Structure formats: C-alpha cells, structure tokens
Structure 1
Amino acid sequence: MTYRPETGHPPVRHQVSVGLPAHTFFSPREDLEHGAPRRLDYGPSLRTYFDRDGVECPPGAERWEVIGGFLFAIVALDPESGSVYALSEGEPEPRLMHADVSSLVHALMVLERGQAEYRDTNRDDDAARGAVVSLMRQDITTVDPTPFADDESEWSRLFEELGLGMWG
C-alpha cells in the first residue's frame, strides 16, 4: 500500500502501515467483478478518481482517498475523521460503512472465518447457515454497529444474501 494520509489519525496511520486484506468481497483492486489485476493507486483523491471517469464527485468527499472495492461499491477513507464510506453504484450519496479502518479490517476477518464455517454447513440446513450468519453479524457489530445501521448498506445486503444461501 502506498497511500500516505495527511493526518495523524491513529487508526489511519496504523492500517496504512499494515495494509488492507484482500477478500472475496473486498479488494484493494479497482474492479472486483472482473478481477482486474491492476491495484489501486492510493495517492489520488476521490475527486481525481471520479474525474478520471467523467463523474461528479459527491460534495464534501473530494479529499477522501479510494482504498478499495466492496462488492459493487467504491470504498473511500475520510482522512480527517478516519471514517470509511461506501459509494455504491446508483446511489447519489456516500454511505458511512465503518467508524474507522480497523473496524473494516475486523469485519473482513470475521467474514473470512465465518465463510469457512458457512461452507461446511449442509446446503439444505437453513437454520445452521442462518446461525453462522447471525454469529458473524454479532461479532462485527460488537466492534462497530455502523456496517448494519442501515438496512440498505453494503453489509446488510451482503448478509441478507448470505442468509438466503446465495453465496454458498
């Protein structure tokens, strides 16, 4: 990771020095859908990223940094607050995704561990799959309730699909 924040915000400094994990649902790559091999450049602001595609950047988010992609959303960091936002396709406004980068990393690690358990459950046992999804959600919200604060968030939609067996 080459992104260097302009702030001394401790969670930002820590995660930038450690890096961000790649996962089935999150990647520091630009395009998860097509498995793009090109990694993101962490220097340009969100405004530069949007300008490159000829799209207007949401007001107030011009200095945010793109840190990856989550399903069909761009994930951006507000370097002043340390908060992480999702900019979903077709949504006019950014949505608060995590209180900070460390909670994003925690949620991805929970999802990674839970996916292995989820895959090991019987495909026909909806109750067992539902229990795994519920435990993952509980583990994530214990650290940061933000990912599930909105029923339309990327995390809420993903977990709804997991509960329906769509990602098994």
Structure 2
Amino acid sequence: MISITPSQVLASFGLTCVTYFPRSADSHMRSEVAHFLSDVGLPESSFFSSRLDLEDETLERGDGNPTLKAAFDADGAECPLEAERWEILGVFNYATIAIDPSDGRIYSFPEGEENYTAMHADLSSFVHSLITLERGASEYKGLPVDEEGQRARVVERIRRQISEVDETPFSDENSEWSRLLEEIGFGMWG
C-alpha cells in the first residue's frame, strides 16, 4: 500500500464527497484495509460512487458491507465461486467495484457481465488513481478534443501517474481505466 492521507482525499474531493466505513470487531477485512476505509475513506466523483442503496434488502450485510454474492443473487446471476466473499465498494463508471477482503485487491465487474478484471493491487492505489483523475479533470475539462493535442497530453499524464503507482489498471486494454481514459480523450467527459 502507498501512503494516502485523509487530508489528501479531503483536499481533492471535499468532506461531503468522502464515505467512511466503520470498523467492527467481527470483520473479516484485513486490518490495514479496514483502517484505510475508516480513516481515509473512499472519495466520490462523477466516475466513482461508494454510496450504495442502503435500503436494498437484497444485499446481505455481514460486517456492514454488501457482499458480491448477494448482489449477484439479487440479479439472478451466478457469482464466481472465488468472489463470493468479496465486498462491494461501489460503482466506477459502469462497473461494480469489489474488494477481496483477504488480500485487499480491487476487481471490476463490468455492467451486465459475470466475468471480472483485476483493477488495482490494493485500495490505496485505487484512491491514488481517483485523486489523479480528479486533478486531471480540472485540466481537460473545456479543452477542445484535438486542439494541438492538449487533451491527449493530459490523458497520457493521468495514465502515467496512475501506472507509476500500480500497473494493474492498464494491464488489460479493455479495463475500466483504459476505456475511461479513451472516452476522456475523445471529449466525452467535459
């Protein structure tokens, strides 16, 4: 895990756009992951939301976080056996994001699919990537799509800054991050 402080997240997203997760004694989440979620939290942006429908009774709640299996069951889909205990962190673009509580790895399940892709090596690299994207958004918003390649340079810098910390987000050309940065390059997000 890399060092991400609560003040870094708050400076990028503001207090109202950070969700904190309570720690419980019976949690099966690794201690460093539980600590990160309760102290640093998860930011909310136009690309990621961790604010799930808490009134949805179809989501089992073991230690307060909805399990992936419960969400798959509610949709009438088959959850991959190895992912049944993973917990849902939120939604990134058009994919459900889950964490394996045993090792802290982050996975994405594209909308309508039962297959998943490794998204991040750990929670801190995920949050680092969201911070990097948020900072980049202030640069690419309003830029013309092909005006002297400015937008392409901003997108490439975002990709590089994310990859310097964790190469997982771009290890698959069809990953959520690859598709999102391609869309930003085409001018679809500002």
> TM-score surpassing 0.5?
yes
Specify the TM-score bucket, using the shorter chain as the normaliser.
0.7 to 0.9
Rounded Cα–Cα distance in structure 1 between residues aligned with 2:46 and 2:158: 16
Partner of 1:107: 129
Alpha-carbon offset, residue 123 of structure 1: 4.7
Partner of 1:132: 154
Q: Say yes or no: does 1:159 pair with 2:181.
A: yes
State, as a whole percentage, how many aligned pairs show the same letter: 46
Corresponding residue to 1:97 among 95, 113, 119: 119
Q: Say yes or no: does 1:28 pair with 2:50.
A: yes
Q: CA RMSD in A?
A: 2.3
Rounded Cα–Cα distance in structure 2 between residues aligned with 1:103 and 1:27: 16
Consecutive unaligned residues of structure 1, counting only runs of 5 or more, are 31-35
**C-alpha contact (below 8 Å) 1:75/1:87 kept by paired residues:** yes
Residues 70-110 of structure 1 deviation map (CA, whole Å, 9 limit, x = unaligned): 11110000000100000112433111000011111000000
Match runs of 1:79-98 below 5 Å: 79-98=101-120
Rounded Cα–Cα distance in structure 2 between residues aligned with 1:123 and 1:163: 7
**C-alpha contact (below 8 Å) 2:107/2:116 kept by paired residues:** yes
Match runs of 1:8-23 below 5 Å: 8-23=30-45
Rounded Cα–Cα distance in structure 2 between residues aligned with 1:71 and 1:126: 28
The one-letter amino acid paired with 1:86 is S
Alpha-carbon offset, residue 37 of structure 1: 9.4
Residues 141-161 of structure 1 deviation map (CA, whole Å, 9 limit, x = unaligned): 000011011000000001111
Rounded Cα–Cα distance in structure 1 between residues aligned with 2:148 and 2:125: 28
Corresponding residue to 1:142 among 150, 164, 167: 164
* Residues 128/67 of structure 1: CA separation in 2 closer, same or farther (3 Å cut): same
Rounded Cα–Cα distance in structure 1 between residues aligned with 2:55 and 2:92: 16
Consecutive unaligned residues of structure 2, counting only runs of 5 or more, are 1-19
User: What's the secondary structure of 2:109's corresponding residue?
Assistant: strand
TM-score, normalised by the number of residues in structure 2: 0.77
